[in-house]
Amino acid sequence: MKIFITAIGTDSGKTLVSSILVEYFKADYWKPIQCGLPRDTDGVRSLISNNKSVFHDEKWLLKTPASPHFAAEVEGIDIELNDFKIPETSNHLIIEGAGGLLVPINNKECVIDLATHFKCPVILVANLYLGSINHTLLSLEYLKSKDISVLGVIFNGESNKSSEKIIEMKSPFPILAKIPHLDRIDKQSVKKIANNLKITLNE
């Protein structure tokens, strides 16, 4: 299975959730576009305990910590959707997007268009800050309106029972997991969360 990880915003916790899912499935990991350093690939690699996962190089490793379309412009690069090909692997693959789902990669296409291009389903990461109900439901409505395959939502960070309840009630897709706030993010904490996950995926 290949899964595309996107989010309601830039700091929602895609890399942490990706790390947990890589450990859970003992999957490979790939970030097609990296903007700025440190590399998320190195971050995920440092959090993984299993020896099966393979970490594939980015298609674009850009130095500017900005939206992919602007980072590419700064470096004189044209990012084209058709340039992206999924790494060859017989393993599960977790693909991490850049920023939120509508972050542009060029003047025509957005990060979420990569998931459509790859023909793989999406997991939406949502953290529960003030305004996140609106951002989460708008993101889900967009995915539904574009007929994008969505496996479900993963809540990440500090819990907010009221927000979780209303999102779950209104979401057209299931809530797959709730990742608690972690005081320390390391191999041990990621492995502990992964070992306690119970995710059933229906493509």
> Which neighbouring-strand residues pair with 94?
3, 29
Q: With bands split at pLDDT 50, 70 and 90, how would you rate the model's confidence at 140?
A: very high
Question: Where residue 108 sits, what CATH number does that domain have?
Answer: 3.40.50.300
SS3 at position 171: coil
| Structural domain includes residue 61 | yes
**Which of the 8 DSSP states describes residue 105?**
S
Q: What pLDDT, on a 0 to 100 scale, did the predictor assign at position 203? A: 54
Q: How does pLDDT run across 144-203, given as a tens digit for each residue?
A: 999 999 999 999 999 999 999 999 999 999 999 999 999 999 999 999 999 999 887 765
Q: Are strands 55-56 and 28-30 parallel, antiparallel or unpaired?
A: parallel
- Residue tagged active-site, from 26, 31, 52, 119: 31
| Structural domain includes residue 202 | no
Q: What pLDDT, on a 0 to 100 scale, did the predictor assign at position 200? A: 73
Whether 169 contacts 140, CB under 8 Å:
no
SS3 at position 6: strand
| Structural domain includes residue 201 | no
Q: How does pLDDT run across 101-115, given as a tens digit for each residue?
A: 999 999 999 999 999
| Structural domain includes residue 85 | yes
Cβ-Cβ contacts under 8 Å for 167 (sequence gap 6 or more): 126, 133, 136, 137, 153, 175
Whether 37 contacts 63, CB under 8 Å:
yes
Question: What tokens appear for 198 in the block?
Answer: 């119970």
| Structural domain includes residue 203 | no
Q: How does pLDDT run across 88-99, given as a tens digit for each residue?
A: 999 999 999 999
Whether 20 contacts 44, CB under 8 Å:
no
The yes-or-no answer on residue 31 being catalytic is yes
Nearest to 107 by CA among 58, 149, 73: 73
Measure Cα distances from 156 to 12, 52, 114, 115, 159 in Å. 7, 25, 23, 21, 8
How many domains are contained in the chain? 1
Measure Cα distances from 30 to 72, 87, 158, 193 in Å. 19, 8, 27, 21
Measure Cα distances from 16 to 12, 107, 155, 186 in Å. 9, 29, 12, 10
Q: What angle do CA 41, 45, 47 make, to 5 degrees?
A: 125
Q: What pLDDT, on a 0 to 100 scale, did the predictor assign at position 202? A: 62
| Structural domain includes residue 42 | yes
Structural domain range at position 25: 2-196
| Structural domain includes residue 170 | yes
Measure Cα distances from 198 to 37, 42, 70, 145, 161 in Å. 33, 26, 39, 28, 20
Section 78-93 average pLDDT: 96
| Structural domain includes residue 26 | yes
Q: What pLDDT, on a 0 to 100 scale, did the predictor assign at position 34? A: 97
